[in-house]
Amino acid sequence: MILTDIINTKAGPLRGLVKKGYKEFLGVPFAKPPLGKLSYKHPLPIKKWEGVFEATKPAKNPMQSEGGFAVGDNDQDCLYLNIFVPDDLLAKAPVMVWIFGGSFAHGGAGSDGKGGVIYDLSYFAIQTKTIVVTINYRLNVFGFLNLSFASDKFDKNNGLYDQLEALRFIHENISSFGGDENNITVFGESAGGASALALLASPLSEGLIDKVIAQSPPVHSFWSEEESRKIAHRYMKLLGLKVEEADKLLDVPFDKQARAINKLGRMVKAKGELRCLFSPIIEDEILPSFPIESLQKRDKNLLIGRQTHECDIFIREYPKALMPLMRLVMPFKPLGSGKDIRDRMSDGMSEYLFNIPIEELASKYGGPCWQYEMDFVSKEFKASSHRSCHTIDVYVLFAFASCWCDPEDDDIKTVGKMMRRVWSDFAYGKLEMGQEKIFFK
């Protein structure tokens, strides 16, 4: 293990690890641990630490229930970030901040349980010639449950404020790693893409963000204040509590809460609600209006896009026999005339949930805006009769190996290289205007 030279930040000195072609700094705290009375409150800035912080091990992932895209190694003490710095960068290099997705309920940028990190973006950093930062933020009830109307021990939008606090830390300290604090691109996929849009729309992010890339964002997955209160009432009822007893939630074990989270999620879906159960809430300070409205007044560079058949990954979980019932419940109808009803339902859901909202946001956006569409299918996906759907872009973009994606495959190498070039050019401010849409096939 070779340690880097000591890096002096405003929070204190730290050092990471020297790797082949890059340096990595893992598990860097950017906020005070949200424990005890801080569990459901906005994050507090990290206090200056004493001595040299050894940024050599990944942190834990946020608390989350099982299922979906859940990851393990969870803890409430999760507000940490990782920094990947390629060798031989030019001075004041662009910075790219990755926000993971997972329906605001699952995922993490911490430990993979095998000694590494879930989002090892070292290869992406080297290929794009940017400094890349991955951040954690609180999920589900810790991040987005609204009980602020019932008790002063609860705040709203903790997850968004976690992301904002991470951006403040990065803006204040990234120059110590060779990055340009005035050229920060926030990018994310799914809930991470929606988070990126919310941060871009927020008046509190002024001076912290230069550009945004939103990959497959659920543009409409935000709750009004009234809707968030209704969810809180229903959630507390499942726990056998009234909202007036909100303070008792601090003593409810998370395994009991996790069961209530999953049950409420199923109940909401059964009524045809496609927004994520615990989503960001429209409120006066961080998010005064729905992003699709407030972004009409923003002028930062935006790259936004989607997969051609986003919802295959969701619809194919259900047998064909359930499709007639879903047609009755869901707020969309099948599209096309193909033989497979699941393909037609997927296309209808994709149009409703992603295509139309993304096109609408892009057409109304107040600044320079590029769109992309990805219709690439790996051999593994073709073998399972999947089309280009939600999350496949993450594996190709970052060259991650999985049952979906072999990064050594020539086609995946070609498409991944194309995507990384576009992402890099965007971060460097070199992406030319005039392209109606960029296609990755």
pLDDT digits (tens, 9 = 90+) for 412-422: 999 999 999 99
Report pLDDT for 434: 65
Whether residue 404 is predicted with pLDDT greater than 90 in this model: the reply is: no
Give the pLDDT band (50/70/90) at residue 263.
Answer: very high
Percent of the chain at pLDDT above 90? 84
* Model confidence pTM above 0.85: yes
With helix as H, strand as E and coil as C, how does the chain read?
A: CCECCCEEECCEEEECEEECCEEEEEEEECECCCCHHHCCCCCCECCCCCCCEECECCCCECCCCCCCCCCCCECCCCCEEEEEEECCCCCCEEEEEEECCCCCCCCCCCECCCCCECCCCHHHHHHHCCEEEEECCCCHHHHHCCCCCCCCCCCCCHHHHHHHHHHHHHHHHHHHHCEEEEEEEEEEECHHHHHHHHHHHCHHHCCCCCEEEEECCCCCCCECHHHHHHHHHHHHHHCCCCHHHHHHHHHCCHHHHHHHHHHHHHHHHHCCCCCCCCCCECECCCECCCHHHHHHHCCCEEEEEEECCCCHHHHCCCCHHHHHHHHHHCCCCCCCCCCCHHHHHHHHHHHHHHHHHHHHHHHHCCCCEEEEEECCCCHHHHHCCCCCCCCHHHHHHHCCCCCCCCCCCHHHHHHHHHHHHHHHHHHHCCCCCCCCCEEEC
Cα 337 from Cα 39, distance rounded (Å): 50
- Tell me whether strands 131-135 and 80-86 are parallel, antiparallel or unpaired: antiparallel
Cα 423 from Cα 123, distance rounded (Å): 14
The closest alpha carbon to 55, from 86, 87, 9, 99, belongs to 9
Please give the average per-residue pLDDT across 78-107, as a whole number. Answer: 96
Task: Write down the mean pLDDT value for the chain.
Answer: 94
Residue given tokens 């229903």 in the structure block: 234
Give the pLDDT band (50/70/90) at residue 353.
Answer: very high
pLDDT digits (tens, 9 = 90+) for 312-332: 988 877 888 888 888 888 899
Going across the sheet that includes 7-9, the strands are 7-9, 12-15, 53-54
Report pLDDT for 44: 98
Nearest-Å Rg of the Cα atoms of the chain is: 21
Report pLDDT for 340: 84
CB 231 within 8 A of CB 277: yes
Report pLDDT for 20: 96
Whether residue 385 is predicted with pLDDT greater than 80 in this model: the reply is: no
pLDDT digits (tens, 9 = 90+) for 103-134: 999 999 999 999 899 999 999 999 999 999 99
Report pLDDT for 435: 63
Please give the average per-residue pLDDT across 229-250, as a whole number. Answer: 96
Give the pLDDT band (50/70/90) at residue 384.
Answer: confident
